[in-house]
Copies of this chain bind each other. A is one copy, B any other.
């Protein structure tokens, strides 16, 4: 092809890899490079704010689709509540306002006039939703209320990082009301399990889970539970939280119902959420030095077809791949990349960087031999597949890749989960290797704080199923009451 066709020269193929800092060299820079080069996100003119570009938003749409189905299957409905919360509402629940007031954005002017009462841009919606619930819930017949909201929230952050911590982010927040304490606790744990199962099944991210300590729980909650994933730099990331709010909000917002026994009672509430920060976990758990690696179930495009075009065989190769695309589209999410201004090598690099699970290459010789070349993104394995068996083989590969990715992530997590009660050893590990560390703890905040001061590690969660292996707290000499996961966290 001539100069005017604008084909990118083969020498530029390696630009992709060069542009991404290797993980080992600088993990944070690797993360930023991957996000910017693959066009997942871009920085906004206002510090701490970002745009989620189409490639990144397509991942969020997948999260929404796959989680929303699970929410509806467990009986929830979606709704939408106002963006602005009057100052007086936010202030009703004391712990809640204390937790959120320092990081909110204030609207003080509207329609050219100074507002008589300043409004908070929602950092989370408990206060505004409880105000509605106090009117919507009257009788036991109105319960349970099982509502979820997909929306944007704003928390003014000092130091931000794409997806992981941004001043505005997208999330979902479930807000439910129940007749009894047991039902509320059941809902809280049910949604924690929905998150755990979603992360494992769809995102191929294994998690540990359990309750948060008093110090780490949600402002205003009775109990907070979380799912925690381990990133490949050994730091933990809280991927989702589920709160049993008890009757804290019901009492201050006066959410009462007439029960079957003719008694007026306060409802029991829960709230639970995951956000676009999940996408940060996806990048860090699976990505490598060539860029993104997407698990097939999450990948907006599962297979990319790249034709190898020569002057002589151009037309028949294009015909062949277009037929192939039509056939495969029935069973998989397919992209045919038949741009002629880019070389095959350039395209291979681009789609690898973008993490498409499988690449199918089709050249004139492949057509003659009745096969195609299939290349896996996760391990680089290449195989020749007979054309008539391709649809079956690709579907099988999607399952194999998804399984292998979860297995690798699980192996990494296991290799980086340690336990013990030697505080010196613990400090060394948090300094050098990081990872999760299961340790006996006395239950005192003072010990928790000491660990944070000494190592920056925090208690990620108190798992349900572990008993302390040692009698004494790792930090002090008091009796250990729990086994807890420590880690340095994002």
State whether A44 and B147 are in contact (beta carbons under 8 Å apart), knowing that A105-B107, A111-B156, A170-B80 are contacts in the complex.
Answer: no
Q: Which residues of chain A from 286 to 315 have any CB-CB distance to chain B below 8 Å in the complex?
A: none
Does the CB pair A168–B106 fall under 8 Å? Answer: no
Query: Which residue from chain B places its CB closest to the CB of A146 in the assembled complex?
Result: B54
Residue A110 interfacial (CB < 8 Å): yes
The reply to whether B110 and A6 contact each other, CB–CB distance below 8 Å, is no
Instruction: Assess A49 versus B84: contact at CB under 8 Å? Given A106-B109, A109-B108.
Output: yes
A481 close to chain B: CB less than 8 A: no
Would you call A46 and B86 a contact (CB within 8 A)?
Answer: yes
Please give me the residue from chain B that is nearest to A4 by CB atom.
B260
Interface flag for A369 (CB, 8 Å): no
- Listed stretches A130-138, A191-199, A216-224, A378-386; interface member: A130-138
Find chain B residues with CB under 8 A from A168 CB: 82-84
| Total number of A residues with any Cβ neighbor in B under 8 Å | 59
B106/A78 in contact, CB under 8 A: no
A154 at the interface (CB under 8 A from B): yes
Contact between B102 and A111 (Cβ–Cβ < 8 Å)?
Answer: yes
In the complex, per-residue mask of A115-153: 1 if CB is within 8 Å of any chain B CB, else 0? 000110100000010011001100001000001000110
Is B61 within 8 A of A78, CB to CB? yes
For A45, the chain B residues whose CB sits under 8 A away are: 86, 89, 128, 131
Q: Which residues of B are found within 8 Å of A53, using beta-carbon distances?
A: 79, 136
A106: chain B residues within 8 A (beta carbon): 107-110
Complex Cα–Cα for A82 and B166 (A): 11
A229 at the interface (CB under 8 A from B): no
- The quantity of this chain's copies bound in the complex is 2
Q: A51-B79, A82-B51, A128-B44 are in contact. Are A152 and B154 (CB under 8 A)?
A: no
Q: Is the CB of B80 within 8 A of A57?
A: yes
- The distance in angstroms between the C-alpha atoms of A83 and B152, with both chains bound, is 8
CA–CA, A58 to B68, complex, Å? 13
Report how far A147 CA is from B54 CA in the complex, Å. Answer: 8
Instruction: Report which residue of A81, A82, A105, A170 has the largest number of chain B beta carbons within 10 angstroms of its beta carbon.
Output: A82
A158 in the interface, Cβ–Cβ < 8 Å? yes
Residue among A103, A156, A260 with the highest chain B CB neighbour number at 10 A = A156
Asked if residues B78 and A58 are in contact (CB atoms below 8 Å), the reply is yes
Instruction: Select A58's contact among B58, B77, B167, beta carbons within 8 Å.
Output: B77
Decide if B84 touches A119 in the complex (CB within 8 Å): no
Contacting pair A84 B46 (CB below 8 A): yes
Q: Is the CB of B52 within 8 A of A79?
A: yes
Q: A50: CB under 8 A from chain B?
A: yes
Residues of B within 8 Å of A80, CB to CB, are: 51-52, 57, 60, 152, 170
Judge whether A121 and B141 touch: CB under 8 Å.
no
Chain A, range 1-28, C-beta contacts under 8 Å to B: 4, 6
* CB pair A51 B132 closer than 8 Å: yes
A168 and B105 alpha carbons, distance in the complex (Å): 17
**Which A68-115 residues have C-beta < 8 A from chain B?**
77-84, 86, 89, 102-112
How many angstroms between the C-alpha atoms of A156 and B56 in the bound complex? 31
**Candidate in A105, A135, A158 with the most chain B CB atoms within 10 angstroms:** A105
A117 to chain B, nearest CB (A): 8
Residues of B within 8 A of A158 (CB): 111
**Docked complex: A353-400 residues within 8 A CB-CB of B:** none
Among B104, B152, B260, the residue within 8 A (CB) of A151 is B152
With a cutoff of 8 Å between Cβ atoms, the chain B residues found around residue A337 in the complex are none
Q: How far is the CA of A118 from the CA of B60 in the complex (A)?
A: 30
Query: Residues of A with Cβ closer than 8 Å to B?
Result: 4, 6, 42, 44-46, 49-54, 56-58, 60-61, 77-84, 86, 89, 102-112, 118-119, 121, 128, 131-132, 135-136, 141, 147, 151-152, 154, 156-158, 167-168, 170, 260, 341
Complex A-B: 5 CB contacts under 8 Å: A42-B132, A45-B131, A82-B168, A83-B154, A103-B111
